[in-house]
Structure 1
Amino acid sequence: MKKIYFLILLAITLATAVNAQKPADIESKVKGLTKYTGYFNFYWDENTGRVLLEVDKLNTEFLYVNSLPSGVGSNDLGLDRGQIGDSRIVKFVKSGPKILLIQPNYAYRAVSNNADERKSVEEAFAQSVIWGFKAEAIDGDKVLIDFTPFLLRDSHHLADRLGSSDQGNFNLDESRSAIYLPNTKGFPENSEFEATITLDGKAKGSEISSVTPDPNSVTVRMHHSFIKLPDDNYKVRKFDPRSGFYDMSYMDYATPIDQPIVKHMLTRHRLQKKDPSAAMSEAVKPIVYYVDRGAPEPVRTALMEGAAWWNQAFEAAGYKNAFQVKLLPEDADPMDIRYNIIQWIHRSTRGWSYGASIDDPRTGEIIKGQVSLGSLRDRQDFLIAEGLLQPYEDGKPVSGKMLKMAIDRLHQLAAHEVGHTLGLQHNFAASTNNRASVMDYPPPAFTMGTDGAIDLSNAYTTEIGTWDKRAILYGYQDFPAGTNEDDALNSILTETLKQGQLFITDEDARPEGGAHPLAHLWDNGKNAADELNRLMDIRRKLLDNFSEKAIRQNAPMATIEEPLVPIYLIHRYQVEAASKMLGGLYYTYAVKNDGQPTTRFVPPAEQWKAFNALMLTISPNALALPEKLLEKIPPRPDGYPRTRELFKSRTGLTFDPMAAAESAAATTLSFMLQPERAARLVEYNSRDVNQPGLIAVIDKLIAATWKTPQQGGYKGELQRMVNNLTLKQLLTLAANTRAPESVRGIALMAIDDLKRWMYISLRSAGDNTNNKANLIFGLSQISAFEKEPAQFKPAQPVAMPDGSPIGEGDF
């Protein structure tokens, strides 16, 4: 009897074990749950807060994108609402009870009909398993998985970014994280998921503390998109470095040995004419952008109008109404992949705007464009206009010109960022060619009449540029059947070059290391030195007449400093531009036999003109503020603290005109003696003795500073401050191990010569105590340097207030 009972018990146990190992069917598992249909069907369990995903496309590739629909609000941290995170091709692969989400490696491919050849490359490079799931239920080729842990994670790596920016140590708190159901939706070609994520930690940074109610508890929302990949009807277009487009590249190991293994293709939207043979045709499917409903008027209209400028370029390419701008429908989700979005982003301080896109890594096709425009940018333009116009006169109506200039800027800004999402790079040479591209960074263009009145009527462009039309033609022209596309594209570029269009982009335009004399950020004019001289003349007149008319009625007098900052520093970016003429090099992105000149030295006369223009910016006359203005700037009152947008002060609570001057002069000198520029001056002079050499530049610099007779009073103090900055910059150059030894040797020689001159001058200084003090301090700096050159670090000069939008970026 015991044996029978034992056998029965064993049978029951085995049956239970078998049943326990057999997954339940999907229907029974999801009974009573809310179903969402879409690209992937999923189910919501209200009782447990879980999302169960039905995987019915095993081994099928799709696009996975994570993003940040609600952000942190700090420019410095760069975690904005609407920010797109990682975008990658993935697929679900089943292995027994496990379901792996795998990311193939599309950076290395074999574009071949030979399956074994494709497999050999696939197996040669690592893939990535993003997540592993356990099957909750199985029905044939369908698998049900608990998707909740995947969604309730720090997919945007906020904790890492807060830690790396020294804001504190944070970790995900699952107890304070949950699915955000309103933005968890299903659509035919995409499934959208969102979660409220809370990071718990110990905050220590000022940035996170300034934008969170409790800095130890940072709560945002993270979004996940599963997107059907586009069909195979998109035609890849070859990349050309002269085209102005971004490229996407990969290594193709099936390439014949006599061809380049790296393949380059444009990133662009899919656009086709209904009739490719027609000079003008409607598009099969137009490109439509939608503007954020949260943007207020008149901003919203400006964004829609500015973005719509691009239709001018598409019309020039033969498309009728192919680029459209609409208001986002009320029930639309901005994170939905079907909508190209222009978002109005709020932050605690003014920051960069940017245009990003979600692309197909296989082809470069842009699936979605997403523009983020900082809501405080227009206020900076309004502030600049206040300083230029000083419009607040008692008893007179306030001019509408400030608002118009700010709105005009928004038109241009919207067009610029949308251009990025169409695939276009910056063109920082366009400002020298009658503002030929909205893809440049534009400062307001203004003039001053003989009566001293500022004219802002042409501050910003009002339409798409001539370069932009040529770029769109290259990227989006739809050619009739039978056309040799390579020949047709080369013909477009040849005509673009014939028109005198010039394209120079980011790295070449940055002040650190940049050498091109025509490619700059925030500059105007055909010649950087001429424009700098023009700006300095206007700036002097503006400063001489600057007053409380620049601030509103009942504003504290101390707030004169707000509009004063952009006027005092109105030349700051033109200084960058002019400095690049010194030791500069003209060049193009020429390809073999395209007829373009490749490189050419800047003529010596142009370089010395730039040198003289730069020296004028550090003269006492340029740096001084009028006494009548200084008398009107009291310390900041309660409620109006000093911010990063204002000048630094070394005089405590009082306004410090010397610090303002130091920040401006130090910037000029740092660009003039920048290590890479110094190295070019040495090299170019060795190749052509007519080129200004570093020795000649330093000699002229010292002659115009230390060796110029000192003035008295306020301007004498400014002069001595510039003397000290000049010496510090030379000492820094001599100690810089990144600089070539030839450069460091020249700097050391100049310092030694200056030291001997200082000793002689000190003996003949007489009763001029200020001059003596200046010489003694200079000699002490040289002595400290000579004792330990490798350890010498002169005191850092006062930094300028923020100029470009705050935070990392542009885009």
Structure 2
Amino acid sequence: MIPTPRTALATAILFALAAVAQAQTPPNGAASVPPAAAAAAAAAAAAAPKPFADVIKGAKEQPGLFPIWRKDEKVWIEIPKEAFNKPFLFSVNVANSIGERGFYASQMLGDELAEWRRIGNQVQLIALNTKFRSDSASSKQALEQAFSPSLIAGTPVASAEHPDRKSVLVDASGLLLGDIPGYSTRLEMAYRLPFAPDRANSYIEATRADAQISTLTSRVHFATPRIPAPSLVPAPVPVPTPPQATPDPRSMFFSFVYSFRALPEKPAAVRHADPRLGHFMESYSNLGDDLKANPRVHMVARWRLEKKDPSAALSEPVQPIVYWMDKNIPAKYRASVKAGIEEWNKAFEKIGFKDAVQARQQPDDADWDNMDSTHASVRWFTGADVGFAIGPSNKDPRTGEILDADIGMSDVFGRGSRRLAADDVLPGGQPALTSWMGERSLHLAEQQCSYMADQAHEFGFALDLLALRDGLEMDGPEAEALAQAVVKDVVMHEVGHTLGLKHNFKSSTTVTQAQLKDKAFTDAHGISNSVMDYNAYNLPLKGEAKTTVTNTTLGAYDYWAIEYAYKQIPAEQEAAELAKIAARSTEPLLAYGDDFDQGVGGPYDGFDPRSNQRDLGDDPLAYAKKRLKLSQELWDRVQSRQATVGDDPLRNRRSIAESFRQMGMTANNVSKYVGGMYAERVVPGVTSGPAFKPVENAQQREALRFIASGLLSSDSFKFKPEFLATQTLDYNEWDRGLPLSIPDAVAALQGRVLDRLMSPNTARRLIEQGAYLPEAQRKGAVSLSEVYGALQGAIFSELKTGAEIDRMRRSLQREYLRRLQAQLNRSTNGATVYADAFSMARWHANLLANDLRAAAAKPGLSVETRAHVVEMQDMLSSMLKASLTRS
């Protein structure tokens, strides 16, 4: 329990009254004790901790770093006197969860450098502030005064000091049954309901201890008093539903695994990061040297890896990196998981380590959990709406040494990776055709990994296309081999994260289109130069020869990144050798771009078209055109597929949903070319050349043409009325959905293009790109006016030709006007849209107004088209009048 100031004050008053009473008592009992003082003394005596032996009488001890004592439902943690004010690693994992909305089992939640502190009879678990440090002893006190630690939890001591062991007990329930992970806030974010921990129905369910670690698992009940009644009127903003996966939405349990782990007595050697490669880091501000303009220090996150024989060219490590394979992993996938883990040994062998990475299988009858912080693991979990894998780790904040990692693999990488094509029912009964875009929080961008979810969706698309094109059987050996390859690919990716490697979203562009078609090359080298990319599947067009579909081996970048982080180098040679390794960044095969280069939202929208998710080959624009052709082939084949007895009613919907999801990512990637900038990781004084360079004019214009003729054209999305009319619903489900709407799916895809091309970020880059070019190259550059004109002309082409405007095009034109309205709204966009962008948007809006007036006067149009044109004319007129208001 965390004491309130009132509780602490009351305790202090009791002790003060007891002291006063003792001072006022005459010797030898000469006078009677005043009643009030006697009551205070009695209260103080009652509050005094009981003797250690009395508290643990009948309890069983688990010896360890902090011994754990258990008696029935009571659990105590023993803290030796010398352990107070001594740092250790405190970590939190969640072993059991509710299986929806981001609350899944087998997840790492975080870690802190922590220590025990005793204030009177109160014990505090304190998170130390490691964000600010100093090499100077004289400034350390100033830092302690300036930057506060944080209280994780606190509780009164449960015993007096042991007479021999000089240790005290604390009640584990009082310490660990609160909301240490902050789940009440997370639950409120997910459900907009006030869930809170219910201590009365929470308990310590498991404990384990040894010399290096003490682990306690708390079974915490979260509850909310009531679920509010639905509003009588529709809410302006959609309200999330209450929990769906629990029997009662008001009640749920979580099992939090709390580990207290000893830090290495000898800190690992620090290796400093280089921005030309992508490693996770432990970072802090060193405020001890006021001569440095930038006080930030970045240490590479890596395991401690040392050769048994430093003189040997190839040596086993003193301590290998061991991954325990969870016993819940289905037996049929264990060989592929093991292969994905041990594939990384190829990179370590290159730098002199033999069997550096090992995979060990947890026995099926094991009674121990690998969720504690001393077992790196690959864990298998399930959920009602889950579809991802994740590779987090715990680090020693002092050095960046990785101490633990738990890769979480949802069942989507096995069963789920085929369910979209094999007709399992998805959660909710029907996938939304517009659900392909997932927003990613900016501050968590580097920690999130949706690779498995994307692989599963891509796998569904690939299997569907191959089954319809080549007759591939879902339960046949070819599909099984591809499924196993997907498992290995994802495991390689996630293990790479736990070895300290970030994403690399530029590596797929380092393989040529010709190499991708060469099966001998892709079998030997993979389809990308890094498994840390989100690589698309290497699917041939109709009539092309088969080749390797997914990644099966490490790429050149992966070897390079491992070498920089783990190569054993004598201390006196390290700086020079690391500089030499990093200097290879200019080699084409080692291209690197992280999450922020790819785009995470806000100002970091990803402006380099070479850094993408789910592209493939050295020409992302060519791949975008290929993806549209593959999708169109799938749509044609799905519309020709004959229904059979036993088919799921949503089978075709899922096929179409997957194709539109892939096209959504393609739309975002191709839109990056317009106003795009090539970004290079230039290190001052070390590397030469421009850090930023505008994308070639020809490439920008080619992307605009493809967007206009491909993504914004109704002809690209043709579906037969006979097909749409036969797509039934799943009438067994309450949320059975509505008739299949292709225009809605197309509108979502096209909206992604509009969001990109009409954004303030794109406008700014188009306006400023000339400043990055020599004077002679500025002539003929793609301008903001050209982009706005081309986009508007393509979207409203019917106004010039007099053609009818179909349902999809009407929707597209409305979406364009909606975004144009945002551009013309000075009150909301005045701080984010350049004046030049505003004036250019208004200029083209006036041109559109003229075209709309002319089109409205043309005879022969259908009433639907005429009504739409008049509506657009009225909307635009109102927008232009409103935008005249000056703030």
Mapping of residues 606-685 of structure 1, within 5 Å: 606-615=699-708, 616-639=710-733, 641-642=735-736, 653-685=738-770
1:437 and 1:91 map into 2 onto residues whose CA distance is 40
1:719 and 1:537 map into 2 onto residues whose CA distance is 21
Which residue of structure 2 lines up, in the alignment, with residue 522 of structure 1?
A: 614
Is the CA contact 1:29–1:137 (under 8 Å) kept in the aligned structure 2? no
Matched letter for residue 222 of structure 2: L
Mapping of residues 213-362 of structure 1, within 5 Å: 213-255=247-289, 257-258=291-292, 260-329=294-363, 330-362=366-398
1:192-237 per-residue CA deviation (whole Å, 9 max, x = no partner) reads: 0111111121346755521111111111112211110112241000
Mapping of residues 169-188 of structure 1, within 5 Å: 169-180=194-205, 183-188=206-211
Which residue of structure 1 lines up, in the alignment, with residue 681 of structure 2?
A: 589
Which residue of structure 1 lines up, in the alignment, with residue 408 of structure 2?
A: 372
Q: 1:786 to 1:21 in 2, by over 3 A?
A: closer
Mapping of residues 22-421 of structure 1, within 5 Å: 23-46=49-72, 49-56=74-81, 57-74=83-100, 76=101, 78-112=102-136, 114=137, 116-135=138-157, 136-139=159-162, 141-180=166-205, 183-201=206-224, 202-203=226-227, 208-255=242-289, 257-258=291-292, 260-329=294-363, 330-377=366-413, 378-379=417-418, 380-381=456-457, 382-391=459-468, 399-421=476-498
1:395 and 1:353 map into 2 onto residues whose CA distance is 27
Is the CA contact 2:324–2:376 (under 8 Å) kept in the aligned structure 1? yes
2:532 and 2:360 map into 1 onto residues whose CA distance is 22
Correspondence for 1:485 among 574, 589, 610: 574
Give the stretch that moved more between structures: 505-514 or 605-614: 505-514
What's the offset of the Cα at 1:728? 2.9
What's the offset of the Cα at 1:93? 2.4
2:208 and 2:811 map into 1 onto residues whose CA distance is 63
1:212 and 1:419 map into 2 onto residues whose CA distance is 35
Matched letter for residue 134 of structure 1: P
1:19-50 per-residue CA deviation (whole Å, 9 max, x = no partner) reads: 7676444233312111111110121121x534
1:307 and 1:340 map into 2 onto residues whose CA distance is 12
Mapping of residues 617-766 of structure 1, within 5 Å: 617-639=711-733, 641-642=735-736, 653-685=738-770, 688-708=778-798, 716-735=806-825, 737=829, 738-766=832-860
Partner secondary structure for residue 247 of structure 2: coil
Is the CA contact 2:675–2:762 (under 8 Å) kept in the aligned structure 1? yes
Q: 1:210 to 1:734 in 2, by over 3 A?
A: same
1:105-158 per-residue CA deviation (whole Å, 9 max, x = no partner) reads: 22122224x4x4433322332122333333322125312222321111122222
1:197 and 1:276 map into 2 onto residues whose CA distance is 49
User: Which runs of no fewer than 5 residues in structure 2 stay unpaired?
Assistant: 1-25, 229-238, 419-455, 512-527, 773-777
1:278 and 1:496 map into 2 onto residues whose CA distance is 28
Which residue of structure 2 lines up, in the alignment, with residue 430 of structure 1?
A: 507
Correspondence for 1:535 among 613, 623, 627: 627
Matched letter for residue 215 of structure 2: E
Is the CA contact 2:274–2:582 (under 8 Å) kept in the aligned structure 1? no
Correspondence for 1:504 among 593, 613, 626: 593
Partner secondary structure for residue 684 of structure 1: helix
Matched letter for residue 90 of structure 2: Y
Is the CA contact 1:178–1:196 (under 8 Å) kept in the aligned structure 2? yes
Correspondence for 1:460 among 531, 536, 550: 550
Is the CA contact 1:511–1:580 (under 8 Å) kept in the aligned structure 2? no
1:304 and 1:617 map into 2 onto residues whose CA distance is 42
TM score, norm. by length of structure 1: 0.88
Partner secondary structure for residue 625 of structure 2: helix
TM score, norm. by length of structure 2: 0.81
1:640 and 1:392 map into 2 onto residues whose CA distance is 34
Q: 1:82 to 1:681 in 2, by over 3 A?
A: same
What's the offset of the Cα at 1:10? 7.0
Partner secondary structure for residue 773 of structure 1: helix
What's the offset of the Cα at 1:300? 2.7
Correspondence for 1:449 among 539, 542, 552: 542
What's the offset of the Cα at 1:441? 0.9
Which residue of structure 1 lines up, in the alignment, with residue 22 of structure 2?
A: none
Which residue of structure 1 lines up, in the alignment, with residue 432 of structure 2?
A: none
Matched letter for residue 842 of structure 2: L
Q: 1:353 to 1:405 in 2, by over 3 A?
A: same
Q: 1:214 to 1:693 in 2, by over 3 A?
A: same
1:592 and 1:30 map into 2 onto residues whose CA distance is 63
Which residue of structure 2 lines up, in the alignment, with residue 650 of structure 1?
A: none
Q: 1:545 to 1:106 in 2, by over 3 A?
A: closer
1:774-795 per-residue CA deviation (whole Å, 9 max, x = no partner) reads: 311211221332354599xxxx
1:176 and 1:568 map into 2 onto residues whose CA distance is 46
Partner secondary structure for residue 244 of structure 2: helix
Which residue of structure 1 lines up, in the alignment, with residue 9 of structure 2?
A: none
1:300 and 1:316 map into 2 onto residues whose CA distance is 26
1:550 and 1:53 map into 2 onto residues whose CA distance is 69
Matched letter for residue 547 of structure 1: Q
Q: 1:130 to 1:705 in 2, by over 3 A?
A: closer
Partner secondary structure for residue 570 of structure 1: helix
What's the offset of the Cα at 1:191? 0.1
Give the stretch that moved more between structures: 661-670 or 146-155: 661-670
Which residue of structure 1 lines up, in the alignment, with residue 21 of structure 2?
A: none
Q: How many residues align?
A: 768
What's the offset of the Cα at 1:770? 3.7
1:446 and 1:618 map into 2 onto residues whose CA distance is 24
2:344 and 2:200 map into 1 onto residues whose CA distance is 47
Q: CA RMSD in A?
A: 3.0
What's the offset of the Cα at 1:463? 0.6
What's the offset of the Cα at 1:396? 8.3
Matched letter for residue 63 of structure 1: L
Is the CA contact 1:389–1:454 (under 8 Å) kept in the aligned structure 2? no
Is the CA contact 2:130–2:397 (under 8 Å) kept in the aligned structure 1? yes
Is the CA contact 1:392–1:550 (under 8 Å) kept in the aligned structure 2? no
Q: 1:25 to 1:552 in 2, by over 3 A?
A: farther
Partner secondary structure for residue 188 of structure 1: coil
What's the offset of the Cα at 1:517? 1.4
Q: 1:744 to 1:407 in 2, by over 3 A?
A: farther
Partner secondary structure for residue 135 of structure 2: coil
1:542 and 1:5 map into 2 onto residues whose CA distance is 100
Is the CA contact 2:468–2:637 (under 8 Å) kept in the aligned structure 1? no
